[in-house]
Structure formats: structure tokens, C-alpha cells
Chain A
Amino acid sequence: MNKKLLAKEAGSVTSLILIILVLTIPFLGIGLGDLLNPVGGVWNGMLYAEYPEVMVIDQSGYSGVVYRDELAIPHIFTARSVDLGYIVGYLQAYDRLFSIDMQRRQISGWLSEILGAGTNNANLESDKLMRLFGFRRLATELWNQMLIEAKTDPEMKEIVDVFIAYSAGVNRFIADCLPNKLPLEYVYLGLQPINWHPIDTLTLAKYMSFALCYNDVDLDMTILAEKFGKNVTVELVPNGPYDFEDVVIPNFTHPDNTTDGNPYQSLDLSLELDSKSLNDDGSFLTAAAEQAIAIKSITNKFDETLKNMITDGCSNNWVVNGSLTDTGYPILCGDPHLPLMVPSIWWCMHAVNTSNPEESFYGVSFPGTPIIQIGFNQKVAWSATVTAVDVTDFYYEIHNGTHYLWNNSYTAEWRPLNKTTEIINVKNSAPVSFDLLCTKHDLNEMDDFWCPIIPSDLSGDFHSLTNISIKSTYMMPNSGILKFFMKMPRAQNVTDYLNALEPYAYPGQNFIFADIAGNIALYPKAFYPIRNATGTQFDDDNNYRGRYIMNGSTGKDEWTGYIPFEWIPHKVNPDQMYLASANQRTVNTTEYPYYMGYAFEEGYRGMRINMLIREKISAAEKISVEDMKDFQHDVYDIAASVFIPELLDAAEQFYGGLTTNLLNDTLEELIWWNNSANSMQYQMFRNLSAPTIFDHWLNDYQNLTFSNEWIDNGIYGEARYPQTMCLQNLTINDKSSKWFNLTGNAGENATYIMLKALNETIEDLTKELGNIVSQWNWSRVHIMKIEYLQGFMPAFDYPTYGCDGSRRTLNVAGQNSKGEVKNGPSERMIVDFAKLVSGDLYPALLTIPSGQNGNPASSHYSDIFQYWKNYDYPQSLFPRNISAYPTNLIYSRVYFS
């Protein structure tokens, strides 16, 4: 045998093994061989980025035609709603499969399964939180109930069929991708997409509802009440509006008190308190506050993990009647403020029912759902903002780990807790089990759902259980939200709108509306709980039940029903000829008998839009679409118009003309900004220094005013400071308020704190931005940061840029502690009814801060964003039927059969 040959063979076998090893060992999370392979490798990143001129999806059992326009917005022509569902599923998956798949996994609590427990167990904690709040569990319950209802209710049957068709559409795309045409992210993570199910869509609906229903301000109130007394919390966070505020529904006249909806009518309850339950006295408050602090670490985590996706769920919308516009027809505007990310939280679409020419609608949809949430059709338009009404309560439970004390209408009893165990699979590790204990507060028969007890940490064993359970309307197994969104795109008039609204249960939304007959309306709709088991909505201290942690064992704090539909504050064709909402207080409490809540958003945006429209009315000027664009981009800060004159007065009194150079420069900048002859007065423009000084100063002023009282009482991050409107009220009306006293020395008042804050601001800004005041541009500390899939791959983020606005301006742009703006107008829409009536091809303007396609290589990755960024709008192409679609605007066709 030739030794030389054997040596050669040995060498080549060794190199074979070596090369196989090198190409298989994971590098960047994936083997080099898999990564660079032309088929199924990194090059898959080019798939689905663009659209072929013609695509045929055959043997699907569904039929329809799709034209994509220049911005890749699909125009879908189908004869049946199930066809539409299937096609939307396929197209959304084509554009956004990875992002909807990841979102589904995240909110279902399945992250650890694919990504492992994560650094500091971040993924595992996220999974536990998702399961604690139970979106998937609730969605499964709802789906099972829908299947039963569908047997008798044709309306529900249609919804179920559409959801099933939508899932089939997504799954068809997934099947077409397998095994080696998967989008790049799957290649990178070595992951396979799992099939879509209608429960996934419902999980998303439950999650979004939760995000818009939930806040934990009741905990803050309980902590503050225990430290300062309940009356002080009412002073700092009042139930009613300030006199300078504009409420969402002004001058609401509710139905006669003698009707069934009388809020003072009570259930016939004869309550017998069990000796074990805590009475509503000081000892209860102390115990509740202690528990509030115990669960704050969890709810704060919640803010970090989840609210990151939904922070400051706030928005604007407004509509003006034809009598105020230059065309004589209404104009409706809406810009929901949600996380700014790429791909966008929204996906644009237009659908035409070829069997019913009256049915054609255009709008934006949350990818993962087959329906549009905001939009317009040939006759009506609608948009939504969060109501921020109190629909979430925390109960203090007396329980022993297996039973909880429950007081029903007549007697107290120990009821068993509902115990379930969630199994969380963890990649490369053993599964983790997470126990959940739930109580039920079903005095009212509609409340037949489980309320989870919140643990004080997420280790998941029983020892860490607290006494606090959470009850929120999003937990109801109610499908009103689906019925609403199925009906609304087909609504023809204001009656249809009101009918669609009636079953809508959660989350609370100010639904603004207009139709071509000239009607305008605003309905803050949800199921709003009434807590009057004792015959009144007030507790023993004469405070609204619902503001603080409530007593779960006495029966006194139970929900007894929901505010009847006609009693919910709303307006149809108001005398003022316009309507507007910006998450501010819904109604004036002195005009309205029901408790609705107290933790609303700051009223500044609401005040500003009212101010802008009233200015037009008083100047007898007609409002045009161009004006509406300006309003949506308005960055006038009302808080600046209040605080800057106060600050300058204080400086004038205190310093006269004797100041240091730096202080002098700063004041001069503010004096220039304060000048009413200046067109930039109080405008939060990116190229000015004054907004930087003002925003920083306001923060310092608020800190200085409240931090000492908070720290003296041992409150560190557990309760937030009162809102800016509270500070405004104190500054204007009570300059010598005790809150302005820092050290106990006489003479410490608002003036003193304002100037002290200014000194701190100048010191901070000098450190951060140098000592030339004119270079303290707002754009340097107020940065628009739009990330690809929450920072999944920073190279794909949009380039950052300094931006206009503040958290108080209509064109909202609140920054986090790093100065990054990650939340804002997630969509801007203006519907011109004159053009709807005339049958114009472009009746509306609509923009989103992204593109339709989530693939960074796509030419549609940021095309619509360019409009958004430059305060511009693409026109919405709205052909009423397929023959009206201009053939030169067809960029891609898809045929389904």
C-alpha cells in the first residue's frame, strides 16, 4: 500500500473534519456555513423586501385581488369578509412576519423558550409578568366562549370565521417560507415560525386592552394617603378639574335621575363584617400602604418591561363641524401616541367589498389583527384616544394561601382561591413553574372572572405572595371590542356608530366621529365600574371608592355594575361645533354624578387644541386642512406660557439687574422667548435654547418642590410627584404653600424655589452642554430615537435626530431620562369630508413613522416615515371600486384563488 497516498488521505480527512467543525460552530449565534449559504443564509434578508409585479397565491380557498400602491399600501378587493381576513393575514405576514411572531411570543410569555432566561433573568421575568396578567389565558377563555356564541349568533359567527381565515392567511405565508425561505431574523436566531391561531390575535387584543386600561396610581394614592392623609392626596391629585382645564365632554347633561341608571340607586345589601376582615380605619390604610410598597417593585418592573412598549398611552383627536370649515363639511383629525418603532405599530390598508359597493374602508391595523382600528370609509371617519378612566382596582385580600375571605350580599365566607401552575420552558435549561393564585369579585354577575394575586417578587413560590389582587375590566370575557371593530368600518351614519359602540367594553377610548351628513360626535366608551355596594360611591372618609387600594373582604368596595350607556358622558353635535380629546379629564365632576377616575393625563394638550380652535372661531376664520396639519404639528407649550412669566417675575424681583453673565444670558434667552411679538413664543423648536432651559427647569422646580416632603416621609420611588398642573395651581394661587418650604426657614416660597431651580438648571446645563447659552439647542438633549424591534439590531434603527416638541405639546415628544424620544404620534390622520362627499380619489391624509415593510433592505422600510419626519403627509388613495383604481398607480398585483 502506497504510504504517501494514505498520508494524503489522512490529511484531507482531517481538513474535512476541521472545516465542517469551523462552519458548524456557532458564530454570531449561527454557524458560518448556515450564515453564508446562498439559500437559507443571511441572503434571505432580501426575500420579501420588495414586491413582484405579479404574484399568484393559488389553491387557497379564498379569492381576491390586491394592488399595492407606490407606498406598498395594499388595496384589497374581495367579495367576502373571510376573503379579506385571509388576504390581510397573508399580506401582514409578508410585510411583518417576524415582528408579529415575536410580539405574540412576548405577550404570551414564551420569550425564554426561544431566547433563554436572558441577562438577569430579564426574559424569564417578562414571561412571568405576562402570565401573571394572563393575556393568553384570558384570550383562550374568550375564544372558547366565542365558539359557543357563534353557534347561535350570526354576527359572532362572522367574527370567528374572519379570525380563522386570517390565521389561515398567515399560516399560508409561513408554509410558503418553509423550509429555507424564512426571513433573515429566523435564520439569525435559528428559529422556526409557529403557526398562527385566532387565540394569538385575541392575546394581542387583551394585551393592548390591558396596556390602555392599566395604571397603578391607586398604589401611589394609598402610600401618600398613609403618609399625608387622604385630604392631602385630594389636594395634590384632585378628583375634579382645575378651573383652567378643558374637559373632554364639557356641559354634559345626563339623563333624568329617575331612570334606571340612577347612580344613587343601590343594591339591597345587608353587610355583615367578618371579625377577621380589616375595618376601613387607619389600620387598614397602614396595612394597604405596606402592601402597596411591597408590590411596587413588581409594578415598576411592569412599567419597565411592558410600558416600554406602551408608555404614556396618550393621544389626540378632534373634529370640527362644517360650520367652522372653509368647505362647509367636517374635518376629522387623529394622532394616537404610542411607541415609535420600526416597523411601526400600525400597518395601513384599504379594503373594498366587491359585492357591496357601499363597503370600502381605509385605515390602520395593528399587525396581528385582521381589522382596522382607526380609519374612514365612504361616509364616516373615526379615531381614538385613551380615556384614562379608572377601570383597574387593587384589592386587599385576607387569605391563607388556599382560601380568601369573601363577603357576598349577606354573609362572609371563606372561598377557595383558584390555583393554576404555569410552566415556562427555558431554552438550554429546565422548565420553570410559576404558581398563580386568583380571587373572584363577582358580586355583579358580569364580573365572573379571576383576579390574580400579585407576588412581591417573581420567584413564584407562595411565600412571596402579597395580599393584593388586581381587578380590571380587560379581564372580562367580553367580545364587545371585536364587535365594535367589525361594525365600525361598515358604519354609514351616526346611528350605526352609536349601535357599534354600545357593546364595547374595554379599553376605555374617546371615539371621535364624523359623517358626511355633517354630524360630529365624541363618546368616551368602555364599561365603567360603579362601586356603590354601600349605597354610595364614597367610603367612610368621604373619598371615592376606587382611588385607593380597596378592601376585598368586607364587600363594601365591590363593583355593583357599570355606568349605563346613555349615562356615559358624550356629545353628539354640540353647540360649540367642535369636539376634542387628549386623554384629559373626561367630565366636570360637579356636573356628573358618577365617579370616573382621577389619574388622567395632564390637560395641556387638551387645553391647546381647544385654544387653537377657539382662536379661529373668535377671529371668524374658517378652518382648513392646512390649519389642521399645523395643529397636528403644533409645539406650543402651554406650561411655558404659565411658568415662564412667573419665573421672569421672580427673577426681576430678586435680582433686579445684578446677575452673573451666565444667569444674565439665560434670562435674556427666556425674555426673548417670552416676548409676545415673537413668532416663536413658547414654541418647543429644536433649534432654540429656551426650550432646553424651560424643560430642564420645570423638572428641577418640580423636584425641589416635592422631593423633601417625599424623602422626609420615607417615600423614595414608590409614589410619583403630582402632575405639572398641580404645580401650576400652587404656583399661581398659593405661592407660600407649605410644599414650597424646603428647610423650614421662613421666606421659602414659590419664588425662592423657582430661582433655586433655575440655578440648578444652569449648573446642570453648563456641565452638559458648555457655558454658551445660545448653543444649548433643544435638539442636543431631545433626540428622536426610533429603534428596530425594540433594539433587536441597532444597525437597523433609523438615524436619530434632534426633534421639536415636549411631553406637553400637541405634537407630543416626551423624552426619557436619557433625552430619547421613543413615544409620539404613531399615526397622523386628517379626513376631509368635503372630498369624501365629492368622491375625490384622495379624501384623506395619513402618515405613520415607518414604512409598510419591516425588512431593513426594503425601499418601503422608511418611505412613509420620511413624510412623517418632515411634517408632511402622503395622500390616501381611496378608489371606491376596482375600476376606479388608476392603472398607472399599480406597483404590484397579487391574485388569490
Chain B
Amino acid sequence: MNKLARIKEWYLKDDWWHFIIGLTLIYMLGLILELTGLWWTMIIAAAIGGAIIKHGGKAIIAGFVGVFFVWGSYFLSFLSLGYSNPFLFINFLNLIGSVIGINGGVLIFISLLIGGLVGVIGSVNAAYLAQIIIKITLKEEIETKKSLSIKTK
């Protein structure tokens, strides 16, 4: 069995390793892509992870958790922006609250939920797409095998 075939065989399996690797990929890629400042790059990060996970339910969890933690990490990093004023983040949350009438903490929670949702749509789409592609390519393989067996008969 050559290398490519081995990878293919591993890819077609569905176990928790796929979930862990997919989730890690979403988180790592998310951290990098977030630097561009474009929110929709989270869809790309989640999609790559989702394509590895393939399983719909697991992809939903990984997409949500992955992007949730990417954005959460960035929010955590804001704590260090205060420099001489450690209360900057809290001041800012209060300020936001006074503008839009929503508590700043709630706004962060909403942001994280939205981030998670963006992750979910990215990963789940990729997962289902992967399943469809697998079905189509496997169908060809089965048909090829069938035709081969007819010929041998």
C-alpha cells in the first residue's frame, strides 16, 4: 500500500482522533486567519477542520468550540492592552454598555456565540460536503469493482 492510499484509508475512518485533529486545526488556523481582521476567514478555518472530521454532529461541536476559543483568546489578550491602566477592558465594556444599552460582558458573550455559529456553519458544511464527495467517489469505486468482477466471470 503506498503512502497516499494509507492517508486515504485513514481519512475515510471516523474516530475521535479526527475530531481532535480537526478541532486543533480550526483553533490554530483561526488564530492565524483572525489576524487579517476578516470575520469570514473563520468559516475557512472551520471548514478545513470540518472536512477532516466529516461526522456532522462532531463537526458542529468542533466548529463551535474552535472559533469560540479563537475569539475568546483574542478577548483575553485585550486584558494586556491596558498597559498603565489595568481597568481599560472593563472601562471599555462599561462604555460600550452605555452606548448600546447592553452590558459589555453580555456583548462579549454574544460575540463569542456568533463566532461559534460562524464556526458551525463552516465546519458542518464542509463535513457534509466531504461525505457527499466520499459517497460519489466510493460509488465509482464500487461500480468499477462490479464491472471488474463481471469481466472475470
Contact = CB atoms under 8 A, between A and B. Distances in A.
Interface of A: 1-2, 5-6, 8-9, 12-13, 15-16, 19-20, 23, 28, 32-34, 36-43, 45-47, 49-53, 179-180, 793, 795-796, 856-859, 891-892
Given A9-B132, A46-B92, A38 B81 contact: no
Contacts of B131: 5, 9
A33 B43 CA distance: 12
Contacts of B10: none
B83 A37 contact: no
A275 B84 CA distance: 76
B96 A46 contact: no
Contact of A5 (B99, B124, B132, B139): B132
B128 A38 contact: no
24 contacts: A1-B139, A5-B128, A9-B125, A23-B114, A32-B114, A33-B114, A37-B37, A38-B115, A39-B37, A42-B96, A45-B92, A46-B82, A47-B81, A50-B81, A50-B84, A50-B85, A179-B36, A179-B37, A795-B98, A796-B95, A857-B88, A858-B88, A859-B91, A891-B84
B118 A13 contact: no
B128 A9 contact: yes
Given A19-B117, A33-B118, A891-B84, A9 B95 contact: no
Chief secondary structure at chain B's binding surface: helix
A796 B97 CA distance: 11
A51 B83 contact: yes
Interface in B85-115: 85, 87-89, 91-92, 95-96, 98-100, 107, 110-111, 114-115
A33 B107 CA distance: 13
Contact of A857 (B95, B100, B136): B95
A39 B121 contact: no
Contact of A180 (B37, B81, B87): B37
Interface string B63-86: 000000001001100100111110
A610 to B, nearest CB: 45
Interface in B7-57: 34-40, 43, 56
Contacts of A51: 83-84
Contacts of B139: 1
Contact of A49 (B88, B118, B125): B88
Nearest to B100: A28
Contacts of A41: 39, 111
Contacts of B145: none
A28 B100 CA distance: 10
Contact of B111 (A20, A28, A36, A50): A36
A892 B132 CA distance: 58
B146 to A, nearest CB: 17
B6 to A, nearest CB: 26
Given A8-B56, A36-B111, A37-B39, A50 B82 contact: yes
A214 to B, nearest CB: 36
Interface core residue of B56, B96, B98, B107 (most chain A CB under 10 Å): B96
Contacts of B85: 49-50, 858-859
B83 A34 contact: no
Q: Which 6 A-B pairs have the closest CB atoms?
A: A180-B37, A40-B37, A38-B74, A33-B39, A36-B111, A37-B39
B50 to A, nearest CB: 10
A859 B90 CA distance: 12
A38 B35 contact: no
A892 B128 CA distance: 53
Given A37-B34, A49-B85, 6 more contacts: A5-B131, A16-B125, A36-B107, A40-B37, A40-B38, A859-B87
A383 to B, nearest CB: 32
A219 to B, nearest CB: 43
B129 interface: yes
A859 B118 contact: no
